[in-house]
């Protein structure tokens, strides 16, 4: 079992700097190699997907179809083929942007791009599924309106960029343009040309498996490869995360880093601020990880993004209030994760007591009065909030305790403690829960943290309990996903279940012993899919390799 605090031991060949140009070939060469099932191309694909699976054969078909479409649209010429996988975060939800740990694996569902440079500035995008992703024609030089250099965050927060994000919300070209924009802003001296791109993938859309991030990452891989840009893998992942600010998101780089650093057959533990690989642990052979799509779309480009941004703002506001009310700690608190016991190096009870400095809830007016106009405006600019109240203490409690849970995950994997991993997954889901069962009927769930509850937690921690066992309340699940979690937990051999991804729809995941998999799928079909007249949407995850260029020779 391997553990490291450095990156070199865990780099995929496709993750090396400036390797893309060595993978250039003409579109006709790619077509011939795919049709002939070239041994070298097959070996490249097996290195990504591992043994004992038919995915490499199916990806040969995808590459063949990409090359045929590219040739019909643009003619022959040098192209690069890149991929980015969907991802699952086993532990560490909603905390990458707070500096927490995420325990990531990439899944077989992925997205491929075939891209070549043009002689003009046109940006031409096509997808094998043109009905779902219509063709787009634009200008590479028009992706950064008004940008004259300087701070990227200030630029994406500017009114023109925010208005553009709102106008093009949910349109697939925005994510490709985001990758282009971030790279142009970073490498302004590069003689940028137009691009021909054809894409294809099978990551479920709006399912919490990061299909939109995969498009950004695959596009950035292609552009960096075509231009021979030398970007450290850590910085590449961070830039892809920053690129998504261009479309209105305000998250971190967890999904993008998961795609970049994923390893076949392993779970990779990442930490953030700064980004680094902390540990790499083999997937437990006796367990399966099942991902079930609820059938409810979780579109970050729609109203859901506003809720996601509001929760992140709650984190930041809570952190600033602690710094304001505990000036003796202010210099030690850069991110919410710095309030976790392992960062403060204090007993859990002390951190629980610290939560008393954070109001249970506040209005925007109260936040502005406490923090001042300028600071509050910056914290509240990412979203609107008609609900009226910010439940700061509940959200902060989730973030801090999730940092504790996720930090432990890799060591638990190495120790084979799958029962404990499953238990912590279920605790984590309780922090996202929005409904609970009462005699079979689901009603609203609201985990409150009044002062009396915090005092009880302090007492429990002093008696030996752990803050990792406290869920908090981030509340980004749905009643349907809560029901799916509870359905799975009633099946013998299930170790734990939780929401997958950012939430408000999408998927949930189940950690189960191998022999329980058929029973879990049957229970989900009976309790969730059949009553809603939905097909069973289940996937058994096999950890695969990370993003990069596909080698033809």
Q: Of 333, 315, 232, 255, give the one whose Cα is nearest residue 7.
A: 232
Amino acid 234: pLDDT:
96
Is the backbone peptide bond immediately before 368 cis, with ω within 30 degrees of 0?
Answer: no
Q: What is the pLDDT of residue 445?
A: 56
The dihedral formed by the CA atoms of 14, 20, 26 and 30, expressed in degrees to the nearest 10: 10
CA 293/CA 249 separation, integer angstroms: 22
What is the predicted pLDDT for the residue at 299? 66
Q: What is the mean pLDDT of residues 96-124?
A: 97
Q: 12 pLDDT exceeds 50?
A: no
What is the reported pLDDT for 20? 59
Q: How far apart are CA 418 and CA 12, in angstroms?
A: 27
Q: What pLDDT is recorded for position 341? A: 97
Q: How far apart are the first and last CA of the chain?
A: 31
Distances (CA, A) of 469 to 31, 196, 392, 400, 419: 53, 51, 19, 11, 14
> Which pLDDT score, from 0 to 100, does residue 10 have?
32
- Using DSSP, state whether 539 is helix, strand or coil: strand
DSSP state of 501: S
Q: 455 in helix, strand or coil? A: helix
Q: Is the pLDDT of residue 8 over 50?
A: no
Which residues are CB-contacts of 329 (< 8 A; sequence separation ≥ 6)?
322, 323, 344
Q: Say what the pLDDT of residue 3 is.
A: 35
Whether residue 4 is predicted with pLDDT greater than 50 in this model: the reply is no
448-473 pLDDT per residue, tens: 799 999 999 999 999 999 999 999 99
Q: What pLDDT was estimated at residue 298?
A: 75
Supply 86's token pair: 């969907």
Lowest-confidence range among 11-25, 223-237, 394-408, 489-503?
11-25
Per residue in 27-45, pLDDT (tens digit) is 999 999 999 999 999 999 9
The burial of 199, by beta-carbon neighbours within 10 Å (0-12 exposed, 13-18 middle, 19 or more buried), is given as buried
The span from the CA of 176 to the CA of 73, in Å, is 19
Count Cβ atoms below 10 Å from residue 361 Cβ, excluding itself: 16
Q: Which CATH class is domain 8-90+99-282+543-549?
A: alpha beta
- Contact between 258 and 241 (Cβ < 8 Å): no
- Distance (Å, whole) CA 15 – CA 237: 11
Residue of 278, 172, 216, 288 whose CA lies nearest to 540: 288
What percent of the chain has a predicted confidence (pLDDT) above 90? 83
Tens of pLDDT along 389-413? 999 999 999 999 999 999 999 999 9
Mean pLDDT throughout 168-190? 95
User: What per-residue confidence (pLDDT) applies to 452?
Assistant: 96
**Residue of 249 and 19 predicted with greater confidence:** 249
Q: Does 379 have pLDDT greater than 50?
A: yes
pLDDT score for 15: 43
Distance CA 313, CA 318 (A): 8
- pLDDT tens for each residue of 213-223: 999 999 999 99
Contact 268, 104 (CB under 8 A): yes
Q: Is the pLDDT of residue 5 over 60?
A: no
Question: Binning pLDDT at 50, 70 and 90, where does residue 345 land?
Answer: very high
Structure tokens at 424: 């912590």
The encoded tokens of residue 168 equal: 């093009």
Provide the total of helices (H) and of strands (E) in the chain, helices listed first.
19, 15
Lowest mean pLDDT: which of 12-26, 103-117, 344-358, 378-392? 12-26
Average pLDDT for 164-192: 94
Confidence class for position 19, pLDDT limits 50, 70, 90: low
- Output the pLDDT for position 440: 53
CA gap 244, 140 in Å, rounded: 17
Whole-prediction pTM: 0.89
The residue-averaged pLDDT of 349-356 equals 98
pLDDT mean across residues, the chain: 92
Helix axes 418-430, 479-489, angle to 10 degrees: 150
Torsion of CA 69, 71, 77, 82, to 10 degrees: 10
pLDDT reading at 543 higher than 60? yes
Query: Are 381 and 312 in contact, with CB atoms under 8 Å apart?
Result: no
Reported as a single tens digit per residue, the pLDDT across 288-343 is 999 999 999 876 555 788 899 999 999 999 999 999 999 999 999 999 999 999 99
Domain boundaries, the chain: 8-90+99-282+543-549, 304-536
Burial of 303 (0-12, 13-18, 19+ CB in 10 A): exposed
Task: List all residues 6 or more positions away from 112 whose beta carbon is below 8 Å from its beta carbon.
Answer: 59, 62, 63, 66, 81, 82, 83, 199, 200, 201, 218, 550
Q: What is the pLDDT of residue 243?
A: 97
Given a contact cutoff of 8 angstroms between Cβ atoms, the answer to whether 521 and 538 are in contact is yes
Each residue's pLDDT tens digit, 195-213: 999 999 999 887 778 899 9
CATH 3.30.70.890 given to domain 304-536: yes
């Amino acid at each position: 079992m391997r553990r490291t605090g450095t990156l070199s031991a865990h780099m995929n060949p496709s993750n090396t700097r400036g390797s893309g140009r060595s993978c250039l070939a003409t579109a006709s060469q790619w077509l011939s190699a795919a049709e002939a099932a070239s041994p070298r191309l097959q070996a490249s694909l097996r290195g990504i997907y591992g043994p004992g699976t038919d995915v490499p054969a199916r990806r040969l078909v995808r590459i063949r179809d990409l090359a045929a479409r590219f040739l019909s649209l643009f003619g022959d010429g040098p192209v690069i083929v890149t991929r980015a996988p969907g991802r699952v975060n086993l532990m560490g939800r909603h905390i990458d942007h707070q500096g927490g740990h995420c325990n990531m694996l990439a899944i077989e569902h992925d997205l491929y791009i075939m891209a070549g440079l043009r002689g003009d500035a046109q940006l031409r995008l096509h997808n094998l599924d043109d009905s779902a992703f219509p063709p787009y024609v634009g200008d590479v030089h028009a992706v950064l309106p008004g940008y004259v250099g300087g701070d990227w965050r200030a630029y994406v927060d500017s009114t023109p960029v925010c208005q553009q994000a709102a106008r093009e919300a949910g349109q697939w070209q925005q994510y490709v343009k985001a990758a282009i924009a971030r790279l142009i802003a970073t490498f302004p001296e590069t003689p940028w040309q137009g691009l021909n791109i054809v894409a294809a993938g099978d990551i479920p859309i709006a399912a919490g498996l990061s299909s939109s991030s995969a498009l950004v990452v695959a596009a950035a891989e292609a552009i960096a490869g075509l231009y021979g840009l030398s970007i450290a893998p850590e910085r590449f992942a961070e830039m892809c995360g920053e690129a998504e600010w261009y479309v209105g998101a305000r998250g971190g780089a967890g999904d993008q880093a998961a795609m970049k650093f994923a390893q076949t057959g392993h779970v990779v533990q990442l930490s953030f601020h700064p980004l680094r690989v902390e540990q790499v642990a083999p997937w437990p052979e006796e367990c399966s990880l099942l991902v079930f799509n609820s059938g409810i779309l979780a579109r970050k480009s729609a109203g859901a993004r506003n809720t996601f941004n509001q929760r992140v703002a709650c984190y930041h506001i809570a952190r600033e209030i602690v710094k304001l009310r505990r000036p003796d700690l202010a210099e030690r608190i850069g991110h919410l994760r710095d309030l976790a016991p392992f960062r403060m190096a204090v007993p859990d009870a002390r951190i629980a007591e610290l939560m008393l400095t954070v109001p249970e809830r506040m209005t925007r007016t109260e936040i502005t009065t406490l923090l001042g106009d300028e600071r509050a405006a910056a914290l509240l600019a990412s979203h609107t909030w008609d609900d009226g109240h910010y439940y700061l203490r509940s959200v902060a409690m989730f973030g801090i305790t999730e940092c504790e849970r996720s930090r432990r995950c890799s060591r638990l994997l190495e120790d084979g403690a799958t029962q404990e991993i499953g238990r912590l997954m279920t605790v984590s889901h309780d922090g996202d829960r929005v409904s609970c069962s009462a005699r079979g009927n689901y009603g609203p769930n609201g985990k409150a943290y009044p002062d009396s509850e915090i005092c009880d937690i302090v007492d429990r921690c002093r008696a030996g309990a752990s803050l990792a066992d406290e869920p908090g309340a981030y509340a980004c699940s749905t009643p349907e996903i809560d029901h799916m979690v509870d359905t799975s937990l009633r099946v013998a051999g299930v170790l734990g279940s939780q929401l997958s991804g950012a939430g408000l729809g999408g998927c949930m995941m189940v950690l189960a012993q191998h022999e329980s998999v058929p029973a879990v799928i049957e229970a989900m079909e009976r309790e969730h899919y059949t009553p809603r007249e939905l097909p069973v949407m289940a996937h058994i995850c096999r950890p695969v390799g990370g993003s990069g260029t596909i080698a033809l020779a």
